[in-house]
Amino acid sequence: MLDIPFPPFCAFLGSLGLLCVALVSAWCQHWRGGFSLDGGSRTFNWHPVLMVTGLVVLYGAAALVYRLPNTWSGPKLPWKLLHGGLALGAFVLTVLGLAAVFRFHNSNGTPNMYSLHSWMGLGTVLLFSCQWAAGFGTFLLPWAPAWLRQLYKPIHVFFGSTILMLSVASCVSGINEKLFFSLKNGTTQYKLLPAEAVFANTLGILILLFGVLVVGALARPSWKRPDSDSLDSRQPLLSAER
């Protein structure tokens, strides 16, 4: 990656994430009819918006918390709380996104869990839930000894990047699947690249770019938080010692 400071890179990445959220919202509003909670197609539209916002953008923000230079000195506990809170927010939005698509399918008699996209998406969410629970139990609760936290830390980091890339793959495959289902009889076919297809394909490329940049930032050695053996870096949230 280019030798640039993290803050401007972070600002660019944040703008890219907001752009992804804005574009998926515009796609669902302009071409897919908007949003509703009636169980119809407009209920489904919450699914891509919430998944991109939670499972990709907010999750990516949570992953990059410890790359902020402000986290490299001083107490680590507030940054632990921010990291865990952002991840929890991403998980809540993801669950709401799943609820929207299952409600749409059930209301319209559409089978659930038959496509590769659905398998990959649900598997990603299940892995995400295990990752958050294991991280909370290991790094924030008082029962985990220091040796266990040290042992689990690289595993936690590895699966963090893995879940993000699975999230990106799930979102991109979902966009493609929706276009195949929507742009067929009665509409301009997907293969003829109507305006909606170009717009949604561009959205998919931007989501992929966002994920690649986040993983690249996580892998860059100069942006990693220096290891610290201070008491605060080893202290869980609910410890009796303050």
Q: Which residue reads 């699966």 in tokens?
A: 159
What domains can be seen in the chain, in order of their start residue? 6-234 (1.20.120.1770)
C-alpha 218/C-alpha 158 separation (Å) is: 10
Inform me whether the pLDDT recorded for 221 exceeds 80: yes
Inform me whether the pLDDT recorded for 74 exceeds 70: yes
State residue 3's pLDDT score. 78
Helix (H) or strand (E) holding 173: helix 146-182
The pTM assigned to this predicted structure is: 0.91
Inform me whether the pLDDT recorded for 237 exceeds 80: no
C-alpha 30/C-alpha 24 separation (Å) is: 10
pLDDT band for position 226 (cuts 50, 70, 90):
confident
Inform me whether the pLDDT recorded for 227 exceeds 90: no
Between 238 and 14, the more confident residue is 14
Average pLDDT over residues 191-217: 97
* C-beta separation of 209 from 164 below 8 A: no
Measured CA to CA in angstroms, residue 169 lies from 46, 55, 114, 210, 219 at distances of 19, 11, 17, 12, 19
Inform me whether the pLDDT recorded for 231 exceeds 90: no
State residue 240's pLDDT score. 40
Q: How many CB atoms lie within 10 A of CB 37?
A: 10
State residue 106's pLDDT score. 96
Token pair, residue 194, equals: 């109507």
Q: Which residue reads 């659930």 in tokens?
A: 112
* C-beta separation of 67 from 43 below 8 A: no
Inform me whether the pLDDT recorded for 238 exceeds 80: no
End-to-end CA distance of the chain: 40
* C-beta separation of 60 from 211 below 8 A: yes
Give the least confident one: 43-57, 60-74, 165-179.
60-74
Token pair, residue 143, equals: 């029962």
* Residue 128: strand, helix, or coil: helix
The tens digit of pLDDT for each residue in 100-141 reads 999 999 999 999 999 999 999 999 999 999 999 999 999 988
Report the percent of the chain where pLDDT is more than 90.
79
Give the least confident one: 67-71, 216-220, 237-241.
237-241
